[in-house]
Amino acid sequence: MKVAVLKGGRSLERGVSLRSGARVEDALGRLGHEVLPLEADGDLVKRLIAAEPDVAFIAMHGMGGEDGTTQELLEILGIPFTGPGVAACARCIDKVMAKHELRSAAIPTPDWFAFNETAFRELGAAEALGGLEDRLGFPLVVKPSRGGSALGVKFAENWFDVPEALISAFSYDDRVLLERFVDGRELAVSVLGGEPLPIVEAIPNSGDSYDFEARYEIGRTSFVCPAELGTEEAGAVTATALAAYEALGCSGFSRVDLILGTDGPQVLEVNAIPGLTDTSLLPQAAEAAGLSFEQLVERILDLALTPANA
Amino acid sequence: MPIRHTIRMPEPPHRRRAHARSSDLERYAGLFAERTQVMRSSAMRDLMAVTARPDVISLAGGLPDTSTFPPKAFAAQMTRIAQESAAEALQYGPTEGFGETVDCIVEVMGAEGMLPDPEDVIVTTGGQQAIDLICKALVNPGDAVICEAPTYPGAIPVFCSYEAETIQIECDGEGMRINELEAALQRLDQEGRRPKFVYSVPTFQNPAGVTMSLERRRRLVELARVRELLVVEDNPYGLLRFGGEPLPPLYQLDGGDFVIYIGTFSKILSPGIRLGWAVTPPPVMEKVVLGKQAADLCTSTLTQYFVREYFAEGSWRQYIESLIEIYRGRRDAMVAALERYFPTQATWTEPDGGLFIWATLPSYIDTGDLLAKALREKVAFVPGQAAYVDGRGRNSMRLNFSAGGEDEIREGIRRIGKTIAEQVELYSALTGEDAAASAPPKPPESSEAENVVPFRKTGEGAA
């Protein structure tokens, strides 16, 4: 089969995407497929039309590749592609939209408020920040609405940290959310074709939070898979993750990030196209389920070609 | 930042081995040396991957301009090597380097008033290797190493990989504050410790662009003598002076007893030839040579032949003069653009030479995050944190003016200025503080002094 691997792009997670892409290309080669590596640049559509691949493996993260843009192009070109469709991608990339969907579906997610830049610049939204302490409490987490890999995510310990944290978050997106900080265990449930894979727990070595560097540097974070949880706890986490996957309309594969605090699991975000690098969580979860990386890649391809099974 | 090239080899019979599975990673993790835990890659590595895009104006690199080196002269020099000394130029050479290369080095150092004993010189694979070899010879895990704050970002990974405890001493417009150095030395005394060396880029410092004053140079050399303390002087930019009077290098003031000197051909000829050197007292040299043998046996013979040919033509000083003209214009363009496009709360250094300007923004702006915003405007810089080991420098940035043309510099600064102005305006909206536009030019905030290399030339008494 001729498989185009789409990677790179202009997003801030370009480097991660190139690593995911290279690893997928290796696996596809070993599986005997004809591999067509494609950097997502100005010639992408031209080269896709010329190459006529049977399927496109989207190994892109962040804006452009994970937000529905590339998916829409592939739909227009009539090329089947891996991972969730346009609408699911658009919902997952935008944390604010995703949280609204989750809340509508009664899936637990930490309380939040969202602001866009216009609100502050033109509507005097700063006056409304005073209510945050009562509603969310401190510390709270400030995040860009669209963005991955914890870029631009800051903790505000008190009121004085908030403006600076907002400035940082607004560097990544014109909409940010302020979220109640939930103390708990950091868990990830990868879902493959509607089936949950074993739960991964991320434990940062340094005692810091699971930041951008910890995510992508070998040895910075310990991962435990399957996470050590009681049957009941694990069941609740998996059920919550599956509900989130479905509520956001994901298909093919995705990864649900949760925090397990004293009030049970809460969904932080859903990654439509999770990383596939050496240190990424989906491949680890697949391996714990007895799937080699090649088998994982083959399964993802199957799901793209037979969407009914997704 | 180094440029990464991907070289596509013809399809090999076996492709690269399968990428590691996580169980393999666990196995590797068990094999890694403890020092890898403290080896730091650039925090912004993935962001920097985006800066390499061709449509991004990068003020992030540290690349000298190599575009005006005459290709015909280059071709003639390399042809002469091929015709007259192919066999030797393709052979291994001595670990210390060729005597002819050392002659060139002595000539270069002579241009700044230094007279090293050729026996004390070792040719290295760039100045970077000299830093590495000096650490290899001197630093045990946990040893204290002192450097400037901010310091050369490329030195930090070296110090970290030898597990040094890096202590950074604040810089101002006159370079490293020697009073603070003395205080740090006293603190170490109380702990019964001695730093292995003090690393300094005293002239046109990377990243801050500041030059250590003559008075502080004398005090540093005196301090080294009294305390029998080694100073490592890294001087890649000394000959690239476009204003002011030259100052004697630390090596010249000291005579080479307590000052180890690092030089390079990277900024006066070519970084691609990877040719630098170290000058050390003989006992240190012995260990450095052993370290070099272990690291790479010898520095590239071919590029040493090239340097020999190039210096034989006798016009190397004219070439530096031509570079100085180019860089002076670019610095002026950058300073003018900073004045025009950066908000009044920003401050920056105005170097008399070298390749870099260091700009400092209001404390609420994190330049790591700002870089993400700037990249959307297709412009890049180095966030200040890269020049510190301890998270300081968050509101500063390094701007390079040697790599791009004047128009590109102006446009790059305009774009960065725009992103900063948006942050400043947003901050005013959030806090109700006055917007930049209406604020009068501010004097330096003393409360910020901890983080800041002050800008322009201040005559601060605190030496």
Q: What are phi and psi of B320, to 5 degrees?
A: -60, -40
B393: left (phi over 0), alpha (psi -120 to 50) or beta: left
Domain CATH for A162: 3.30.1490.20
Answer yes or no: A269 catalytic.
yes
Domains identified in chain B and CATH numbers:
45-67+318-436 (3.90.1150.10), 85-312 (3.40.640.10)
CB atoms within 10 A of CB A23: 23
Residue B204 has pLDDT above 80, yes or no: yes
Burial B57-95 (b: 16+ CB within 10 A, else e): bbbbbbbbbeeeeeeeeeeebeeebeeebeeebeeebbb
Of A151, A225, A287, the CB nearest to B372: A151
- Disruptive mutation site among A24, A171, A296 for chain B (greatest number of B CBs within 10 Å): A171
Task: Clarify whether A257 is annotated catalytic.
Answer: yes
pLDDT at site A149: 65
User: Of the candidates B261, B439, B389, B406, which has an alpha carbon nearest to the alpha carbon of residue B331?
Assistant: B406
> How confident is the model at residue A117, as a pLDDT?
86
CB-CB neighbors (< 8 A) of B32 in chain A = 219
The reported pLDDT for the residue numbered A203 is 84
Q: Which amino acid belongs to residue A143?
A: K
* Domain final residue, candidates A159, A180, A201: A180
Q: How confident is the model at residue B23 (pLDDT cuts 50, 70, 90)?
A: low
pLDDT of residue B135: 97
- Which of A140, A163, A180 is the last residue in one of the domains? A180
Q: Are residues A140 and A167 in the same domain?
A: yes
A117 close contact with B: CB closer than 8 A: yes
- The answer to whether B145 touches B292, Cβ cutoff 8 Å, is no
Same domain, A216 and A95: yes
Query: If you average pLDDT over residues B366-379, what whole number do you get?
Result: 92
**Whether residue A199 sits in one domain with residue A101:** yes
Distance CA A177, CA A102 (A): 15
pLDDT of residue A208: 52
Residue of higher predicted confidence among B9 and B276 = B276
Contact A278 B53 (CB under 8 A): no
Per the annotation, the verdict on A180 as an active-site residue is no
Residues A35 and A176 in one domain: no
How do residues B72-111 score in pLDDT, each as one tens digit? 999 999 999 999 999 999 999 999 999 999 999 999 999 9
Contact A37, A25 (CB under 8 A): yes
Q: Are residues A100 and A218 in the same domain?
A: yes
Average pLDDT over residues A230-255: 96
Domain around A63: 2-82
Tens of pLDDT, residue by residue over B38-64, are 655 544 555 666 667 778 999 998 899
Contacts of B29 in chain A (CB under 8 A): 218-219
Q: Are A15 and A39 in contact (CB under 8 A)?
A: no
Tell me how far apart the alpha carbons of residues B251 and B255 are, in angstroms, rounded to a whole number. Answer: 6
Say which residues have a Cβ less than 8 Å from residue B228's Cβ, sequence separation at least 6: B258
pLDDT tens for A101-147 read 999 999 999 999 999 988 887 777 777 777 777 888 888 999 999 97
- Look up A116 and say whether it is catalytic: no
Contacts of B187 (CB under 8 A, 6+ apart): none
Pair (A194, A293) in one structural domain:
yes
Kindly report the number of other CB atoms within 10 A of residue A152's CB atom. Answer: 26
pLDDT band for B391, please (50, 70, 90 cuts). Answer: confident
- Measured in angstroms, the CA of A280 and the nearest CA of chain B are apart by 9
DSSP letter for B139, please.
P
* CA distance linking residue B167 with residue B191, whole number of Å: 14
- Separation CA A68–CA A92 (nearest Å): 10
Interface touch B46/A14, C-beta < 8 Å: yes
Summarize pLDDT for B205-222 with one digit per residue, the tens.
999 999 999 999 999 999
Q: Which of A91-95, A253-257, B218-222, B425-429 has the lowest mean pLDDT?
A: B425-429
CA distances from B354 to A18, B105, B184, B329 (A): 35, 19, 28, 12
Contacts of A39 in chain B (CB under 8 A): none
- The pLDDT of residue A206: 63
Four-point Cα dihedral B60, B64, B68, B73, nearest 10: -140
CATH number, domain with residue A228: 3.30.470.20
Torsion angle (degrees, nearest 10) of CA B348, B353, B356, B361: 0
For chain B, say whether A21 makes contact (Cβ under 8 Å). no
A8 or B149: which carries more pLDDT confidence? Answer: B149
Q: Which of A180, A202, A218 is the last residue before a domain boundary? A: A180
Band the pLDDT of A49: cuts 50, 70, 90: very high
Going by pLDDT thresholds of 50, 70 and 90, the confidence category of residue B34 is: confident
Q: Quick one: A150 and A231 in the same domain?
A: no
| pLDDT grade for B444, boundaries at 50, 70 and 90 | very low
Q: Which two tokens stand for residue B160?
A: 């970290």
Nearest-Å Rg of the Cα atoms of chain B is 23
Catalytic residue among A149, A190, A251, A254: A149
> What pLDDT score was predicted for residue A155?
86
* Catalytic (active site) residue A205: no
Q: Please name the residues in contact with B457: beta carbons below 8 A apart, sequence gap of 6 or more.
A: B173, B350
Helix (DSSP H) and strand (DSSP E) numbers for chain B: 15, 14
Do A130 and A189 reside in the same domain of the chain? no
Query: Can you tell me the mean pLDDT for B439-463?
Result: 39
| pLDDT of B251 over the 50 cut | yes
The residue with greater pLDDT, B314 or B433, is B314
Mean pLDDT of the region B175-192: 97
In this structure, the answer to whether residues A141 and A274 fall within a common structural domain is: no
Q: Are residues A193 and A290 in the same domain?
A: yes
**The one catalytic residue among A67, A173, A179, A257:** A257
How far is residue A156's CA from residue B369's CA, in Å, rounded to a whole number? 16
**Structural domain tally of chain A?**
3
CA distance A183 to A180: 10
pLDDT score, position B460 = 35
- Indicate the range of A205-209, B222-226, B248-252 predicted with least confidence: A205-209
| B contact set with A (CB within 8 A) | 15-16, 18-23, 25, 28-29, 32, 36-37, 41, 43, 45-47, 49-50, 53, 364-366, 369-370, 372-373, 375, 423, 425-427, 429-432
Which residues on B lie below 8 Å from A217 (Cβ)?
A: 41
| Cβ <8 Å between A167 and B366 | yes
A246 shares its domain with A214: yes
Least confident range from B212-226, B411-425, B433-447: namely B433-447
- Kindly report which listed range (A238-252, B11-25, B287-301, B364-378) carries the lowest average pLDDT score: B11-25
B95: DSSP letter: T
pLDDT at B285: 96
Does residue A202 sit in the same domain as residue A176?
no
What does residue A245 show for φ and ψ, rounded to 5 degrees?
-55, -45
Strand residue runs (E) in B291-377: 347-348, 356-360
User: What is the longest distance spanned by two Cα atoms in chain A?
Assistant: 61
Number of Cβ pairs closer than 8 Å across A and B? 106
